[in-house]
Amino acid sequence: MLMVIGKWKTDHGLVLKSGHEEFELVGSASLYLHASCYEITEAKQVFDELCEKNDLVWSLMLVGFVQYRFLSEALKVFEEMPRRGVVECTKLTSGYVKSKDGCQKALELFKMMRKSGEALPNEFTLDSLVRACGRMMDLWEGKEVHGLFIKLGFEFESLI
């Protein structure tokens, strides 16, 4: 494993020197690799270098922060994203649902997403919300989410 990481760091150095990290997929792959190798600080450095030129890095940085439970940092990225979709909303919402006291924040994010009209929830979004309502023992919110299941045609979805 160390040999692979050492080889990757050498290759990554060559990418940086050549200026190819500026290419969308190369820069995104670099950020993803750093985050996957538990190098979130390095991933953030790549993000900071590329976020104005590469829309792909926004989602990857959000996922990295959620993965390591840095939810306040993830929320900052989310709020500044040039474009947000259902994947980003769901990832952040599910991260909050998995945190100790984040269920209420997850529901607030979902309501903000619905109000803004940025993204229509999918079955994964609704699954996270059901879990949040269950963890909070909030039957009223749970009934509202259930109504969305029906309205959006997910009432027979096996995941939910």
Distance (Å, rounded) from C-alpha 96 to C-alpha 94?
Answer: 5
Residue-level pLDDT at 11: 47
Higher pLDDT, 148 or 18: 148
Say yes or no to pLDDT of 96 above 50. Answer: yes
SS3 133: helix
Distance (Å, rounded) from C-alpha 47 to C-alpha 53?
Answer: 10
Sequence spans of domains, the chain: 1-74, 84-160
The angle that helices 24-36 and 40-50 make with each other, rounded to 10 degrees, is 160
Say yes or no to pLDDT of 56 above 50. Answer: yes
**What is the average per-residue pLDDT within 76-80?**
94
Residue-level pLDDT at 6: 47
Say yes or no to pLDDT of 115 above 80. Answer: yes
52: nearest Cα among 78, 15, 84, 81 = 81
